[in-house]
Amino acid sequence: MERGGWMTRRKPRPEGMGAPPGVRDYSGSLMVMLTHACPLRCAYCGVVRDRRAMGWETLRRSVDFLLTSRSDLLQLRYFGGEPLLEFDLIRRAIGYAAGRPARAGRPVHHMITTNGLGLDDRKLEFLAGRDVEVMFSLDGSAETHRRWRAAPQGQDTHPKLLASLRRLQRSGVSYFVNFVVQPGGAVRSRSDLELVVSWGARRIQVGYCVGVEWGEGEKQEFLGFMEETARRYGNADHQPASKMRAGMELLNLKSRAEPVMLSDEVIVETDGALYLDPAVFVERFFPSLKAAMGLGRLGEVGSLAEVRRSRAEVLRLFRGCCPPGTPQGRLFLNNLALGLDVGGLMDRLGRRTTRDTR
């Protein structure tokens, strides 16, 4: 399952809260892996898919674990697999978090990632009006989805997906689209992204495949695509309104999420074990990470602050598992370099936007 960052919140998090400039602050954020099951078989999925799912008791303890954070802004992020398969758990967690005294008046924001297929009216009715945001995966045309986000028997899921998007738009629930680009796919992505915009999406996060090598030419092509997208949809150059799509927002410009390979977020596995994010989200490509990036278990560690690690530490652990010179090490460094370049580009363009719009 793809990832999103703090920038998705309605109320923007003040920059620099407890973190040095240029470093995201996840001190009040916790991811939960609700299930490893998913009805899709995306070619770029880095999660190990099977039938493991979280029980209520583990999720309840995850909420309490999040509340050990002293941050003023708290966020619980539901991942999978497909987390909507466990919607009753999400419903219970939202209610439970709202009633906990440890919340001490602080808002708990809930972010749900989804492939969109299970987003029906019943779920949206519950989510509407709550502090919830949906990260909706959509890579463009039916053909692109058939190729990269296929269903096991090759069923055409695209009409269902677009129907879900329309329902989501009608519901008023806050959402953004997560759009993923493949190596060598930047040219096609231009028209795919146009389609996504034509379907009404206004807040978009662009991601890229990890776990595969990006050639230098593919990387440059992708960076060109990102720059063009930032100019077109993210107002990177503060263009006149006539040249911009109304209300468009390219979330990458302010997320500071790169390089995603060094994500230092904490995630609770279905069995209550705690890990650094990459151990779960790229497990299929880097299976040795899980042994190195374990942070203990719910109930054994006192607080979220206790298990947090710096990005430098994530890098050290990655290099220990995937030493330079090995195939895994080369793959890691390749993906890391792409993330650093994308991050540098977004910082540059994002800074320009901020300056120009003051």
Give the interface with ligand SF4 as residue ranges (CB under 6 A): 1, 38, 40-42, 45, 47, 80-82, 115, 137, 149
Nearer to ligand SF4, 161 or 276 (CB): 161
Least gap, CB of 145 to ligand SF4 (angstroms): 10
Nearer to ligand SF4, 2 or 249 (CB): 2
Nearer to ligand SF4, 1 or 127 (CB): 1
Least gap, CB of 335 to ligand SF4 (angstroms): 16
Least gap, CB of 319 to ligand SF4 (angstroms): 26
Least gap, CB of 332 to ligand SF4 (angstroms): 20
Nearer to ligand SF4, 28 or 81 (CB): 81
> Could you give the CA distance from residue 2 to residue 158 in angstroms, rounded to a whole number?
18
Inter-residue contact 38 to 80 (CB < 8 Å): yes
Inter-residue contact 298 to 58 (CB < 8 Å): yes
Least gap, CB of 27 to ligand SF4 (angstroms): 26
Nearer to ligand SF4, 34 or 230 (CB): 34
Least gap, CB of 79 to ligand SF4 (angstroms): 8
> Could you give the CA distance from residue 206 to residue 177 in angstroms, rounded to a whole number?
8
Nearer to ligand SF4, 47 or 274 (CB): 47
Least gap, CB of 285 to ligand SF4 (angstroms): 12
Give which of 50, 40, 47, 44 is closest to 156, Cα–Cα.
40
Alpha carbon distances (Å) from 236 to 4, 114, 222, 248: 20, 28, 17, 11
β-pairing, 273-276 vs 294-297, is antiparallel
Residue environment code for 209-221, b if the CB has 16+ CB neighbours within 10 A, otherwise e? bbbeebeeebbeb
Nearer to ligand SF4, 47 or 76 (CB): 47
> Could you give the CA distance from residue 159 to residue 156 in angstroms, rounded to a whole number?
7
Inter-residue contact 175 to 134 (CB < 8 Å): yes
Give which of 158, 164, 155, 154 is closest to 140, Cα–Cα.
158
Question: Is the bond preceding 259 in cis, omega lying within 30 degrees of 0?
Answer: yes
Inter-residue contact 92 to 56 (CB < 8 Å): yes
